Every structure is written in C-alpha cells, then in structure tokens.
Amino acid sequence: MKFVASVFAFTVLSLSSYAQDKKATILTVQGENVTKEEFENIFRKNNRDSVINEKALDDYMELFINFKLKVREARDLGMDTVQKFKSELDGYRQTLARPYLTDGAMLDVMVKEAYDRMNYEVRAAHILVKCESNASPEDSLKAFNKIMEIRNKILAGADFSTIAKQSSEDPSAKENAGDLGYFTAFQMVYQFEDAAFNTPTGQLSMPVRTRYGYHILKVSDKRPARGEVRVAHILVKEKKEDNGAENARLKAQEIYQKAKSGENFTELASKFSEDASSAKSGGELPWFGTNKMVSEFEEASFALKNDGDVSEPFKTSYGWHIVKRLGHRGLGTFTEMEKEIKAKVSKDNRSERTRASFINKLKKDYNFSYNPALLNAIAAKADTAVFNGKWNLKKKELKKTLFTIDGKAFKVADLHKVITSKMKIKTKFTPSQYIVDEGEHFMEVSLLKHEDAKLEQKYDAFRLLMNEYREGILLFELTDQKVWTKAVKDTIGLQNFYEKNQARFMWPERLDVTLYTCGNEAMAQKVRELIAKGTDNASIALEVNKDSQLNLQIEEGVFSEEDRDVLANVARKTGLSTNIPFNGQIVIANVKAIIPPSPKKLSEARGLITSEYQNYLEQQWIAELRKKYTYKKNSEVLHSIK
C-alpha cells in the first residue's frame, strides 16, 4: 500500500510539474508574459524535421520576438476591436471548432465505412424525379409516388434505359440513359453512394432521396478498385485552319511512330506536346483514379498493363493523345489514409449523421429537457404572416420554458425572437410545420453554441490554435498597412529605392533572335536556303513542314541563356549561326542584335523591385518596434525545449 501511495504521489507531482513547466514564462513583451507552451507549440509546427539545438531555438526566438512585437503594436492601435477583425476571427473560429463539434465514435465508423467502399467501384444507372429538399410533405409524397410508379414499370419488365430516357429528370439521361459509369466513395452524394453500394448487382434499388430529389438505381457491376495510375502524355490539338483535324491526326501518328521506334518519350513530349503545363515536365501528369479524367483518357491509361507501355493515338474532346504509363498503385492502408478520409467525411454530407449523433450526446451531457407539446401548441397558432416575421403569441406563452440546457432555461420568447427576425421566407411548409422545424433547429443550434463556448476550457489545442489565428489576423492587417500595401502605393518611395539599388536588378546579356529548330541537317540546309532567298518565316514553316509537322519549329523574341538553354552555344555576333546540335535536333539562330547587361527598368521588374522594397520596409519597421517596446527572453526556459 505504501508503494502504491508513493507511485500515486510521484505521478501527481510529475503531472503538476509538467503543468507548471508548460506555463513557465519564456518571453516577456512590454510586461506581458508568453508561456513556454505557446512558443513550443508554434516552434514545433514550423520545425518538424529540424534538429532542435540551442542555436535553432535562439534563431527562432528572434523571429518570434518580431512576431510578438508586431502583434503588440496592432493591439495598441486597437485593431483587435474593429468589427472587420471580429467577423474574420469568428469565421475562422467556426471552421476550427467544426472537428470538436462532432461525435468522434460515429466519425470513426463513417471513416471505416468510406475506406471499405474505396476498395471497390460500382457501376450504376439512375432515374431521377426532382424534389426540393424543403418541399412540402404533399409535394414530397407526389414525387415519391411518381418514382415508385416508374420503379414498378421496370419491375414489370419495362427496359430501364428506355424509361430513363423518357422519364428521368436528370438532363444527361437523354444521352447516357442514366448510366453514370463507375464510381467509388466520395464521388456521389452520400445517400446515393449508400444506395449504390447496398444494392446487389443486377437489381433495382428502392427510392433514395438526396438534395436533388428521388432516385432509383440499377447496379450493373461491382469491381475491385483499379487504384491510381500515373502517366505522361503528348497532346496534339486540332487547329481551326483548313484540314486542321487531319493534320493533327497525322502529327500524332508521326510522334507515335517515333515513340514506338524507341525515341525518348520525355523528349518527344517536351518538343511536340501542346499541353503547355505538362510539356515542361516531359508530359507527366499527377496520379489519378476512376472518374477523374474524361472517359477515353482514363480507359486508355488503365488499359496499359506495364510501366513503359505506350498507347496508340486516341482522340478526346481536347485533341489527340499518346499516353505512356509511368506507374500504378493500389489503395493505401487504412492507417495511411485515415487522416485524409476523416477530412473528407467532415466535409461530406456524411457529417449529417455524425452531427445528429453528437446532438444526442450533448443532450445527455447537459441534461437537456424539452417540451414538444408546447412547441406543437404554439406552432398551431401560426398563420402565413409568420413567413413575413409576424407571429402573435400571448405574454404568458412567451414566458414559458421551451427547453433547458445545463440548467439554463430557453423560453418561447427566445424562439419568437428568431422567427420574427426573418422576413419574406419562401418555403413549401405550412406555417405550423415551419415553426416546428425552426424550433427543432433552434434547439440544436443552442446545444452546439453551449458546447462551442466551452472549447477553450476543454481543449488546450483549440485554445492555442485560436490564439494563433487571432494574432495571425492582426499581424496580417498591420503588415499589410505598414509593408505590403505601402510598398505598392508609395510610388515615390519605390522610385527612390529603385534608383539607389539599380545594380541589384540587372538584365543578363540577351539576344534579339529567331530560333529555327530543325528535325535534321537536311531540314536545316533547306531552312538556310529559304532564309537566303528572303522567304518570310510563315512561308518557311509551310514549305519545310509540308511532309511532317515535326520538321521545323520557329520562335522569335528577346531571350537570355536562362530563357533558352540553346543560346549558350550561340556565338555572340549578328547574323545566322552555325548548325547547333541540341536535344536531338539542329538549331539555327538568326541573331538580330546583342543586348549587353543593363539595369532593368522599374516597369520591367516592378514585381521583384516591389518585393525587395517590402523587405526593406519590414526591416525598418522591426528596428522601430525593438526600440519602442521592452522585451526579455528567458534563455533557461527556452533551451529546456531541446
């Protein structure tokens, strides 16, 4: 017993010591203390992969001091009292509070269900009868009866596709007969997904309601998930010119033959792909899975069986593509994907289930009590005037308790205030239905607000994060005034800064040049002959590319070696260069002028110069703040973090 008592005492003392250590003062700014807990929380977020030693801590403390001085200045200017700040912080708070205002156990169930479904892909077709989410019970019943009538016809032998084209209120059904292709978790609204995964293959579902209306689904297939594929592609667009479509097809076929004969796909993509965003990286695209690309592109990509396989040219709405498979991967483990899935569930309409479960939990935690008979009685006295914010109730009715939360009474008057604050309400509910719906919503909101008000007390992580956002908003607003916007608006100051620092903003040597990139030596010789005759570039391209669109590419402009690597091989003299082998082709440079290094004009480098001016203004501002405010760091506490 003495041993147990000693262990218990040691544990209590350790926890107490830890709590005191967290609250130890690590920095004092103008008489206000900053705790070790606050500094360490921010430091570790920004130095996850760094070695933590005394120098790293000292260096970061200097940045932290600057941060705290700026925040202090913002508070002294009263920036934390203006309505804009309060509204912005409230908006962030609502977002940050969301994960805390949900049922964790139910969330875990929904996350596991989603992961299990992600292992499969379902192919389904649907028929839709539209019905608004706030439709009256009468209109909802009418839509339900209509979808049931359609379902019964199909069960009696009518063809689903034919009925979908005739009766579905989904506009795309006339083209696709309701067929949605393959999909997996998170790619449809949750209720629809739920019905698809729970309906056996080949069978028809019961009606399912989503925000769009009532659906019936016919599931035609269920297969293991194909995972994700990573590909590189070459795109050839169809030009609007005469014979543009055929030229694009021929060009794609030529490129394909080069790839098939062993030429480097990355180089081919860099040279010829007309997808500018991917051509720079050899045509590489990010990983993608089912329902992420147009169907033709997706099917061609997944049809490639091995890394390195190249597809024949195929057409989509974007043009002609050639695809090379770079990699394939299956679904990650649950542990690897849990965090990502949890974030999706929180944003998905699955969250409606976790919200309902959380509301029930709060009712138990806070001894919630409710008088449904009273709500129904006062709702029965409402007429259509309630839709314009008019709801006449007697004083004695307004004083009655509608519900209680943690011993706090919420009166009918509280609901009355909410109802009468709304004007010109459009709904298909009857007045009494509207009041009951609003009353139940008011109770839920009141429970959530009660819990929300306790978050800082209950969760240290939330309290620290809210403080980060509070100070971050203040820092942003004041830095915008003192540095960012000032640098843009202070044209005289910017001009003076530029004139004093011109040597920092220089153009390198540049060439005013036309670059002729030829397929081979023969093509280069032909280009030279045409240039000698005085042929214009458009005519040169037309003549040389008569047999192949790959023979010649022409580019004109003022470039440095940083802009075009080939210029490193060009002699610094005007006129035509020698033939320059480059990237498997022959380049001829027609140099019109050599432009020596020179200062960039302010108009030519305004963005860069403005950025440097902002850095200068911030350095000046920090120096002023360090003179204006007193501050002192506690090195002993600081170094204890390591």
199-227: average pLDDT: 95
pLDDT of 243 higher than 90: no
* pLDDT, position 14: 45
pLDDT of 4 higher than 70: no
* pLDDT, position 264: 95
- Report the C-alpha gap between 266 and 269 in whole angstroms: 5
- 572 pLDDT band, cuts 50/70/90, is very high
Task: Mark residue 207 as left, alpha or beta (left: phi above 0; alpha: psi -120 to 50; beta: remaining).
Answer: beta
* pLDDT, position 244: 78
DSSP conformational letter for 31: T
Q: Which CATH fold topology does 228-329 show?
A: Chitinase A; domain 3 (3.10.50)
pLDDT of 149 higher than 80: yes
pLDDT of 492 higher than 90: yes
Domain boundaries defined on the chain: 120-224, 228-329, 366-453, 506-599
385-408: average pLDDT: 94
463 CB burial (10 A radius; 0-12, 13-18, 19+): middle
- 242 pLDDT band, cuts 50/70/90, is low
* pLDDT, position 20: 55
pLDDT of 355 higher than 90: no
* pLDDT, position 8: 43
Q: Could you tell me what percent of the chain has a pLDDT over 90?
A: 82
274-299: average pLDDT: 91
Mean pLDDT of the chain: 91
pLDDT of 1 higher than 50: no
CATH label, 120-224, candidates 3.10.50.40, 1.10.3720.10, 2.60.40.180, 3.10.20.30:
3.10.50.40
Helix residue ranges, H only, 392-430: 395-398, 412-420
565-577: average pLDDT: 94
* pLDDT, position 39: 95
Asked if the domains at 228-329 and 506-599 fall in one CATH topology, the answer is yes
* pLDDT, position 354: 86
557-576: average pLDDT: 94
Q: What is the pTM of this model?
A: 0.56
- Report the C-alpha gap between 323 and 27 in whole angstroms: 58
- Report the C-alpha gap between 475 and 469 in whole angstroms: 10
259-274: average pLDDT: 94
pLDDT in tens, 82-138: 999 999 999 999 889 987 888 888 889 999 999 999 999 999 999 999 998 878 888
pLDDT of 12 higher than 50: no
- Residues 538 and 544 sit within 8 Å (Cβ to Cβ): no
Q: Which CATH fold topology does 506-599 show?
A: Chitinase A; domain 3 (3.10.50)
- Report the C-alpha gap between 552 and 270 in whole angstroms: 14
- Residues 428 and 135 sit within 8 Å (Cβ to Cβ): yes
